Amino acid sequence: MDVKIELRENSQVFHISGRLNIDGAEKLKKEAKQLAQEKKTNWIFDLSEVIFIDSSGIGALVACLRTAGNNGGDLRLAAPQSEIRTILELTRLHRLFEIHNTIDEAANSFKK
Amino acid sequence: MDNFNIKLPSKLCYLNAVAYFFKECLMQSEKLRDNPQLIYDLELVLSEAMTNAIKYPLVEDAPSIIILNISINDNQIEIAVTDFGKGFDIGAIPEPNFDEFQEGGYGIFIIKSKMDYVAYTINGKSGNTLLLRKKFI
């Protein structure tokens, strides 16, 4: 799993790629905590290049949402592939996350 | 019937390597090749099973390995994951509380949701085996 962070005017985009399993989950949580310390917590997780996610990866998404919320921000998911959406639905977490089809759509939601 | 028997160190760093190998094996099946969702589900289940097997603490003096036995025929896949950890009572693991949006506790739920048959046996020094089966439609 690889993650690159793009700083935008009103949000921060995590471009995540590869396999989000227990290994990637720890890396993602660490990156998120670091950004939270800088008080930048309007997060968009770009999932378009995530080819696999398991329960550890799902858990990391929930943990990051809580980290953002606890620091006055929020987390939006963008462009998940159909298999990722299926897992979010199976675990009912699609009710927890605001999921957008594109990064720009997610970014605009922070401007409202 | 194609059988694969893999013995590997009980380390999370090998998860991805096994996943790639497993996926390539599944792609050899004509029934699976055209069903990417089923391939994804099987890869997911194997990841959950291996993560569980690796993360639980070992029994004293037990080998730090896990053993995968995978059998694929035209109609079914069987996956057996054996570890030498302390084991757990699969029947005592509750379903996730879907109103609390937990950070963990989804692994066994996902496995049970995706497979037709799930059994877990604790066999002392012979290891604990999670046995999973899925029929192809």
Q: ipTM for the complex?
A: 0.91
B15, A23: Cβ pair inside 8 Å? Answer: yes
Edge-first strand order for the sheet with A98-100 is A2-7, A12-20, A42-53, A74-78, A98-100
Q: How far apart are the first and last CA of chain B?
A: 17
A21 and B16 within 8 Å at the Cβ level: the answer is yes
The mean pLDDT value for B117-136 works out to 93
Q: How many helices (H) and strands (E) does chain B have?
A: 4, 5
- Sequence length of chain B is 137
pLDDT: which is higher, B74 or A101: A101
A55 touches chain B (CB under 8 A): yes
Residues 6+ apart with CB under 8 A from B20: none
Of all residues in chain B, the one with the smallest CA distance to A82 is B37
10 Å CB burial of residue B122 (0-12, 13-18, 19+) is middle
pLDDT tens, per residue, chain A with 112 residues: 999 999 999 999 999 999 999 989 999 999 999 999 999 999 999 999 999 999 999 999 999 999 999 999 999 999 999 999 999 999 999 999 999 999 999 999 998 7
Q: For B11-15, B42-46, B122-126, which range has the lowest pLDDT when averaged over its residues?
A: B122-126
Q: Among the listed ranges A33-37, B15-19, B34-38, B55-59, which one has the minimum average pLDDT value?
A: B55-59
